[in-house]
C-alpha cells in the first residue's frame, strides 16, 4: 500500500459544487468558485476516495505519489 497520495483538481472541469470541501474539509477548499487541494501530497485517507468518487464531473483525482497510478475515481 502506498504511503502517500497526490491529490489533483482539474480546474477546467470543476463546477464548484463544494461536495469535496463538505466531504473532506481538511483536504479541500473553494477558491474563486473552484475546488483546490490544501496540499498536493497527503497521507492516504478514505475520505479522499469519497471526495473523488462524489465529484459529479470527476474533476478530482487521487494518485499514488510513488508511481502516479490512478486510485480514484474508479472507472
Please list the pLDDT of the chain residue by residue as tens digits (75 residues).
689 999 999 999 999 999 999 999 999 999 999 999 999 999 999 999 999 999 999 999 999 999 999 999 987
The answer to whether the CB of 39 falls within 8 A of the CB of 28 is no
- Delineate the domains of the chain, giving CATH numbers in brackets: 5-62 (3.30.70.20)
Among 18, 67, 73, 31, residue whose Cα is nearest residue 50: 73
pLDDT of residue 2: 81
Give pLDDT, residue 12.
Answer: 95
Tell me which residue of 75, 68, 30 sits closest to 52, measured CA to CA. Answer: 75
Predicted confidence at residue 1, as pLDDT, reads 62
How many CA atoms, within 13 angstroms, populate the side-chain half-sphere of residue 73?
Answer: 15
Amino acid at each position: 500500500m502506498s504511503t502517500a497520495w497526490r491529490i489533483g483538481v482539474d480546474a477546467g472541469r470543476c463546477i464548484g459544487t463544494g461536495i469535496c470541501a463538505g466531504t473532506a474539509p481538511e483536504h479541500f477548499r473553494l477558491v474563486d468558485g473552484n475546488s483546490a487541494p490544501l496540499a498536493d501530497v497527503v497521507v492516504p485517507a478514505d475520505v479522499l476516495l469519497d471526495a473523488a468518487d462524489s465529484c459529479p464531473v470527476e474533476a478530482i483525482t487521487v494518485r499514488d505519489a510513488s508511481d502516479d497510478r490512478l486510485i480514484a475515481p474508479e472507472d
